[in-house]
Structure 1
Amino acid sequence: MTGLKILHIEDDEQTAETVRDSMTIAGDSVTWSSNGTDGLRTAASSEFDLIILDRMLPDMSGIDIIGKLREAGVDVPVLMLSALGRTENRIEGLDAGVDDYLTKPFEHEELIARVRALHRRASGQAHSAVIIFGDMECHIKARTAHRQGQHIALSPKEFELFKYFMQNAGEVITREMLLRDVWNLNFDPQTNVIDVNVGRLRRKLEDGFDGAIFETIWGAGYRLLAR
């Protein structure tokens, strides 16, 4: 897989050069924005295959930028780079809507591998624009959720959860699966982040409608039911 068009939003010139050199060697082209304002403007005015986003920028945080990107309908994969590598830092970034999180300093090979993996995942979902299960619809490209024809407003992470449940509708989804496939974590951070987010999603999808659509299977996980 070569020839990706990448936007890199990063204020540190040395890091920007490192990323550019790595991805150019891999056959990709990189457009660099040195601050969040320019990065948002560039992301909205041109089409990119992937965005690499620094967490700490002089004019706004990467957490704020990912929210603005998603609000503006920019749904390309986003890889966040940060010197903040604690578990809670990664969870905060992933909860905000980034698709992967890589700490600095990083190896060139890992950066390239993460970019390739993100693009493969996004490309694999492109053929399925809408997933329908029971009275629910998941519009992947528009990143919207509907039940009985009504739009359900979801945060970026809630939408990722909803999409994952819809893609695995009727199957038992374990905490380990959610940590690995939605939060991109290969370990349990020993927090209630999954229970909190599933609870929020459940309330939004069930309040005002007849019948529960989430089944909690104690000791196992959750299952999405059709109504």
Structure 2
Amino acid sequence: MPTIQDKEKVKIVRWPLETAKREGCRKLGALRILLVENGPPPLLADLREDWVRAPVSHQDLMARVRALQARAAAYRAPVLDPDGVLRVGSTSVVLAPSEVPIVAELVRNYGSLVARESLAHLLACARNTTRNALDLQMMRIRRRIAPLGLGISTAWGRGYLLQELTSDTAREHPQTPEGVSVVR
């Protein structure tokens, strides 16, 4: 499964020669490095953009690419709209109505642990539930959000953590044949 980082390829744009290409990349939300060939570098106000002066070694350019990807990933968070559509970048999934309150709480606390009791309470408000109902719902949500490059880690007895599914996370939590991340 491709991760968010795999989807975030960095475009190299010659500055100031390819000003139109820079603007097109900006409109698409693409990560880009401006290769400044002459004159002063442009003012940067977008965290999805960086610059380097030409000529540049391949090693230095690759270091800037990795730094830009890391910086952009740190500010990338999922968004849940009122209709139950969860978006990460240009990718989205539609959640079942029963999943929306739980995912909304996880998104509100993106990158932080959410207490199991808080999520169980949200589930209990919707209908009569058993202790295993939350576990079943989390399994369904994990399956649904995996195509977005998101995963949910379990802190046993404490709660759940919504986070980006990186290649390291995928190695730590291999996928079962059904596509469910087994987190222990």
- Structure 1 length normalisation: TM-score? 0.34
Larger radius of gyration: 2
